[in-house]
Structure 1
Amino acid sequence: MSLHALPLFVKLAGRPVMLIGTGEAADAKRRLLERAGAVIVDEAAQAALAIVALDDPEPVVARLRARGVLVNAVDRPALCDFTLPAIVDRDPVLVAIGTGGASAGMAAALRQRLEALLPASLGPRVRALAAARDAIRARWPEAGERRRALANAFAGPLDPLTEAPADAVDTWLAAEDTPQEGGLLRFRLASPDPDDLTLRQARALAQADRVFHRRDVPAALLDRARADAERIACDAPPAAPGDGLAVDLEMAR
């Protein structure tokens, strides 16, 4: 399954971004750029990005592209090199929702749903995790072990979708060790649809260090594994799955 675009978070503080046009649409983009700390310039300036809010954007877009500038043409997805997502801000957590310009209204509706789901305590909790990075590494020095400990925490006391006290990270670090799932987990999948994965299957894929699979397992299912998890096509479950957590997938006949 291919991506129609690669989502990126670009730091714009102090950097020039062209904004060409006037009116309500341009004003909305200006406010967004100002929140990101961008220096707003016109077409005559040098910048890597440009937002064009004009009724007839084609000539301007052509000139900018000829200069190597990446362009967003408001309400003209076919002319866009990049699009601007709907944003849920739980600083330092940013959730971006994009539809590739297909439906800004759908992106806004999803943002409203996610606003209600993500608690206000999420941002401070993530900052506490960043501050505890050295302590986490000291307690779980091996990368796979550390990843599984964090995954278990996010499914329990540090669940990102629930409110938590200010000292939640300290309390978790002070708790006694809990068993970390490892070894080989085997799943026989009844459906090629990733949405039919059980919660346990989805969590195992998200945590696995390597994924063994028969050759008929669809790529859409393998895409649910961590991006850096090794994918290994094989005709039978492995006799030696290696250290950490491994998952073996086969399709039901």
Structure 2
Amino acid sequence: MSLSGLPVLLRLAGRPVILLGTGEAADAKRRLLERAGARVCDEDGEASLAIVAIEDDGEAEAAVARLRERGVLINATDRAALCDFTLPAIVDRDPVLIAIATGGASAGLAAALRQRLEALLPAGLGNLANGLKAARAAIRAKWPEAGPRRRAIGAALASGGPLDPLAEPAPDAVTAWLEASGDSSETRLVRVTLASPDPDELTLRTARLLAQADRVFHRADVPPAILNRARADAARHECAAAPREPGPGLSIDLEMAR
């Protein structure tokens, strides 16, 4: 399975973005760009991005062709085949932003998922993010090495942890966590037997272990789709068996059920 696109967050404050079109669709895109601080301009503007929200197909295609000749990256509303980039549905818990995209397959599906997440995520989630940012120096001082620091943060943010992001932590939760936290440098090797090659059938425990692991040892028949559930920077090692001394931190040893 490959990505249909690379999700990125663009800093648009003060930068020009071309917006073409009138009506509800164009108005919605204008509001979105203004919230991001972009400077909305017409087709003559010197911009690298453009949103074409023109209703007439012929006019929209002509505008896309003109802009593409200039090397401008384009989003054409409701015309996925003409898009260089798409605009996701957004859940905003500033500074936390969650973008939901379907590659242009269904804006309705993206909107439905956004509504579910809006109900799930606490209003104070942004305060937790800001608290972690403010405590960055203190966190580094407590756990100077990257591995223990990552594991300590992961454990705190896990379901039921002191900083569980879905549980509306108290305003002083980060400070209280730092004062109470112990050592996170222990070595662990967890062996997991997979009952199915389908990543959607991973148990919650296995999914959490993969998300936290520093390295993953696996047999050759473990599907890439399951390995992709591990952190992107977790080392992968295909082997017949995990070593007796796998290294510091959390290691996962994956094999398929026979």
- 1:194 Cα deviation (Å)? 1.2
2:215 matches 1:210: yes
2:132 matches 1:134: no
2:57 matches 1:52: no
Paired positions, count? 253
Unpaired stretches in structure 1, ≥5 consecutive residues? none
Structure 1 runs of 4+ aligned residues shifted over 3 Å read: 178-182
2:188 matches 1:183: yes
Aligned to 2:167: 162
Aligned to 1:197: 202
2:123 matches 1:81: no
Aligned to 1:222: 227
Aligned to 1:15: 15
Give a deviation string over 1:60-107, Cα, whole Å, max 9, x none: 111111211110000001111101011110000000011111111111
**C-alpha root-mean-square deviation of aligned residues, in Å?**
1.2
The correspondence for 1:101, drawn from 104, 110, 115, is 104
Aligned to 1:68: 71
Q: Distance in 2 between matches of 1:83 and 1:184?
A: 41
- 1:237 Cα deviation (Å)? 2.1
Tell me if the contact between 1:210 and 1:230 (Cα under 8 Å) persists in the aligned partners. Answer: yes
Tell me, what secondary structure is at the counterpart of 1:82? Answer: coil
Give a deviation string over 1:98-119, Cα, whole Å, max 9, x none: 1111111111111111001100
The correspondence for 1:243, drawn from 245, 248, 252, is 248
Change (3 A) 1:102 1:176: closer
Tell me if the contact between 1:4 and 1:100 (Cα under 8 Å) persists in the aligned partners. Answer: yes
Give a deviation string over 1:132-187, Cα, whole Å, max 9, x none: 00100111111110111011101101111111211111111111416666321111
- 1:123 Cα deviation (Å)? 0.4
- 1:240 Cα deviation (Å)? 2.8
- Deviation larger for 122-131 or 55-64: 55-64
Aligned to 1:116: 119
- TM-score of the superposed pair, with normalisation by structure 2: 0.95
Tell me if the contact between 1:18 and 1:43 (Cα under 8 Å) persists in the aligned partners. Answer: yes
Give a deviation string over 1:214-244, Cα, whole Å, max 9, x none: 1111011001000111111112222331121
Tell me, what secondary structure is at the counterpart of 2:189? Answer: strand
Unpaired stretches in structure 2, ≥5 consecutive residues? none
| Partner AA of 1:120 in structure 2 | A
- TM-score of the superposed pair, with normalisation by structure 1: 0.97
| Partner AA of 2:67 in structure 1 | L
Tell me if the contact between 1:148 and 1:181 (Cα under 8 Å) persists in the aligned partners. Answer: no
Identity %: 71
- 1:207 Cα deviation (Å)? 1.0
2:239 matches 1:234: yes
| Partner AA of 2:2 in structure 1 | S
Change (3 A) 1:103 1:87: same
Tell me if the contact between 2:49 and 2:74 (Cα under 8 Å) persists in the aligned partners. Answer: yes
